[in-house]
Amino acid sequence: MSRPHPLSAMKEWEWSQAWEQQQEIVDRLNAKRGSWLPNVVEKRPWGAVRWTSGRPAHAATSGQAVPETFAVLRPGLNDQPLRDRVAEALAQPGPMFQVLGVGLRRHQLVPAIAGAVVGAVLLVVLALVIGLGVLGAVLGGLIGLVGGGVGGAALGQYLFDRDRDAVLKEGDRVRVVTGRYAPTSWSRLVDATTGLETAATAAADDQTANAVQTALWEAAGLLLRSSDHTGVEVLADGMERLAQAHRGISGGR
């Protein structure tokens, strides 16, 4: 099967299945998804890519989606747990349900419930201690329930973001490139390396795999350090020539 998108190494059925699952989440939310965008994280030998699309059903059939974030691992890094954590950190799970128009995600739900219970109990006890009576206790319980729930959800989001940043901002082993700000030369480079990944002759070629990893790592570093994209263009040119050479080898067999 052909690639559904030039920058994706997924097969057509893998791509369609992933986006159909996102469409199921959208359907369940009945268009009440807030700022959340359906997304698919694609693991790659060199790291991972997060794809986003406001219309997952359309993405499933058309192959059109936005490569939003690229996470590139350091060459020579043999750390499968880190690879898994990078993919998990890139993923943005959809809301489980809506509360007062606000979507709650899994990492917010448990802290929100715990915060609501603790807040309600504390304010009920406080109201009784200071002599506000039953009505004051009920009112305090309601205020504690809402305030504790909001605070718990906020704490859950903070911890989620902190853990995510600890993985994606670990600059010695992971470099992150934002797709919307990346130059055309970065897309050319990823396109060429994707062609090499999916080529049968490149699959068993460790030297090619190392070249792909190194090129993406160095290009990501150049983008993060400088606004001069000349070095990325040079790397893209080199990878395109290597991809053409591999296609020539494949065609000659």
Bridge-partner residues for 49, per DSSP? Answer: 42, 70
Residue 151's SS3 state is: helix
Same-domain pairing of 159 and 179:
no
What is the structure's pLDDT at 99? Answer: 61
Same domain (yes/no): 157, 183: no
Number of domains observed in the structure of the chain: 2
Closest CA to 190 of 173, 177, 201: 177
Residue 23 falls inside a structural domain:
yes
- Say if residue 232 is in the same domain as residue 200: yes
Where do runs of H (alpha helix) occur along 34-105?
56-62, 80-90
Query: Which of 128, 163, 198 corresponds to the end of one domain?
Result: 163
Residues 140, 178 within the same domain: no
In a domain, 168, yes or no: no
- pLDDT category, 2, cuts 50, 70, 90? low
**Within this chain, do residues 157 and 189 fall inside the same structural domain, yes or no?**
no
Cα distance between residue 121 and residue 40, in whole Å: 40
Given a contact cutoff of 8 angstroms between Cβ atoms, the answer to whether 9 and 198 are in contact is yes
Looking at the structure, tell me whether residues 154 and 188 fall in a common domain: no
Listed residues 163, 186, 215: the one ending a domain: 163
Tens-place pLDDT, residues 145-174:
888 888 888 888 888 888 888 888 877 899
Residue 85 counted as domain residue: no
Question: Could you give the CA distance from residue 138 to residue 115 in angstroms, rounded to a whole number?
Answer: 17
Question: Does residue 198 fall inside a structural domain?
Answer: yes
SS percent in the chain: helix, strand, coil, step 5 = 65, 10, 25
What is 219-239 written as a DSSP string? HHHHHHH-S--HHHHHHHHHH
* 177 shares its domain with 246: yes
End-of-domain residue from the set 134, 163, 192: 163
User: In this structure, are 181 and 70 located in the same domain?
Assistant: yes
Q: Which range of residues forms the domain containing residue 141?
A: 97-163
CB 167 within 8 A of CB 174: yes
In a domain, 7, yes or no: no
Give the model's confidence band at 7: pLDDT under 50 very low, under 70 low, under 90 confident, else very high.
Answer: very high
CA–CA separation, 167 and 171 (whole Å): 9
Average pLDDT in the 197-219 region? 78
pLDDT score at 94: 79
Rounded Cα–Cα distance for residues 113 and 149 (Å): 6
Q: What is the pTM of this model?
A: 0.82
pLDDT value of residue 149 = 85
pLDDT tens digits along 117-129: 998 899 899 888 8
- Is 5 within a domain? no
Same domain, 102 and 225: no
